[in-house]
Each structure stands twice: as structure tokens, then as C-alpha cells.
Amino acid sequence: MTVEFGLTNPELYRLLLDPARGRQSPAAQAGIRLLAERVHRVALTGRLAVAEEHAVEVIQAAGTGAVLTTLARPVARRDRSLADTMFDAVLQQILTPAEDAGTGALDQAVAEKALAHAVALRAHTAQLSTLSAGERLLMTEWLDRIIEEPGPAPRSVNAERCRVR
């Protein structure tokens, strides 16, 4: 999306990249919001391996760098494959490996992993010295809710055994 826009509108793209003006533009902000929404949808699947904000920044930086590098080449030598290669490299860094993609098994696996992680985090909550006593209490309450009343995804027998009573 950004790459195609940048390669199709090189002068406007360079103008938008001016830090003094580009970041404040409603169009640039809308583009970042759209990217953040897409990253959030990936996070909901359990495939995002980094914080959402970091993923957005990495994708944006890679896309921007790929477009600027491509635009620096003579028109006859511009090759979109650089952007595709950068995007593939970014995905390798920000995503977890796909498991049973295209089946309902991924949703089940994500639900089971989330429950297991909640149980493990709950077990370590008392040792989280970076949190205040009140924050630990609140986190404990939230984790107990997650563990006792998991979301709408069906739970397997293994997940059922992980419940804390």
C-alpha cells in the first residue's frame, strides 16, 4: 500500500516524508491508523511476536526505506522486488510461525496457548517486582478471570486440565 503509493507518486511521497510536515498530515496519520488496524487484526490471531506499536514502526520503516531506495535508482532500474524482499524480512521478525494455517486448528491452538500463558503468568505474578502491589493485585484478578472463564474459542481436554481452581 505505502510502497505502491510511493513508487507511483515519488515527489509527493518525498514531500510527505519531511518530518516537519509529513507526520502531521491527515493522510499520513490515516495511513498509519490503517496499518495499526491491520497489525491489530494479526495480533488478535496470536501470530504477532512483538508489540503492536513496534510492528507498525518496523513495517513503516522498512516500507519507507524500500521506497526511498527504489526512488533513488534511475527510473529504468527501479525494481519493486526490493520492497517485497524487505516486507518478507519484516514478517520473519514480527510474526510467529504459522500453525495449521487455513484451518480452525489455529484458533484452537491460540486459545490453548493463551490459557497456558495466562496460567504461567498468574503463577509468577507475586514475583513481578516491576509492578506495584496494586498492579499485581489487578493483574491477578484479570488473569483469574481469563483462566476461570476463557473466551468463546472451544477448549480441549488439555486446556481444561490447566484451569486453576
What tens digit of pLDDT does each residue of 5-60 get? 878 888 887 777 666 666 677 877 888 899 999 999 998 888 888 888 999 999 99
Reported as a single tens digit per residue, the pLDDT across 63-88 is 888 988 998 999 999 888 999 999 99
Is 131 found in the same domain as 81? Answer: no
Count of domains forming the chain:
2
Domain holding 15, by residue range, is 2-94
Q: Residue 119 to residues 12, 66, 113, 122, 148: CA-CA distances in angstroms?
A: 50, 42, 10, 5, 10
Residues 79 and 138 in one domain: no
Residue 129 pLDDT: 93
Q: Where does a domain end: 73, 94, 115?
A: 94
Q: Helix (H, G, I), strand (E, B), or coil: what is residue 27?
A: helix
Rounded distance, CA 24 to CA 90, Å?
A: 25
Q: Are residues 28 and 86 in the same domain?
A: yes
Q: Work out the burial of residue 122: count CB atoms within 10 Å of its CB; fewer than 13 is exposed, 13-18 middle, 19 or more buried.
A: middle
Does residue 77 share a domain with residue 111? no
- Is residue 58 a contact partner of residue 93, using CB atoms and an 8 Å limit? yes
pLDDT tens for 3-14 read 788 788 888 877
* Amino acid 22: pLDDT: 60
Q: What is the 3-state secondary structure (H, E, C) of 3-15?
A: HHHHHHCHHHHHH
Decide if 50 is inside a domain: yes
Residues 90 and 113 in one domain: no
Asked if residue 52 is part of any domain, the answer here is yes
One domain for residues 112 and 157:
yes
100 lies in a domain?
A: no
pLDDT of the residue at 88: 94
What confidence score (pLDDT) does residue 131 get? 94
Ranges of H-type helices in 17-165:
26-44, 52-72, 81-94, 105-124, 133-148, 157-161
pTM of the model: 0.59
Does position 124 have pLDDT exceeding 70, yes or no? yes
Give the pLDDT score at 152.
52
Model confidence over 128-156: pLDDT tens digits?
Answer: 999 999 999 999 999 988 888 755 544 33
Final residue in a domain of this structure, among 94, 125, 145: 94
Residue where a domain terminates, one of 62, 94, 126: 94
Query: Could you tell me which residue, 23 or 93, shows the higher pLDDT?
Result: 93
Extract the C-alpha cell encoding 91.
514478517
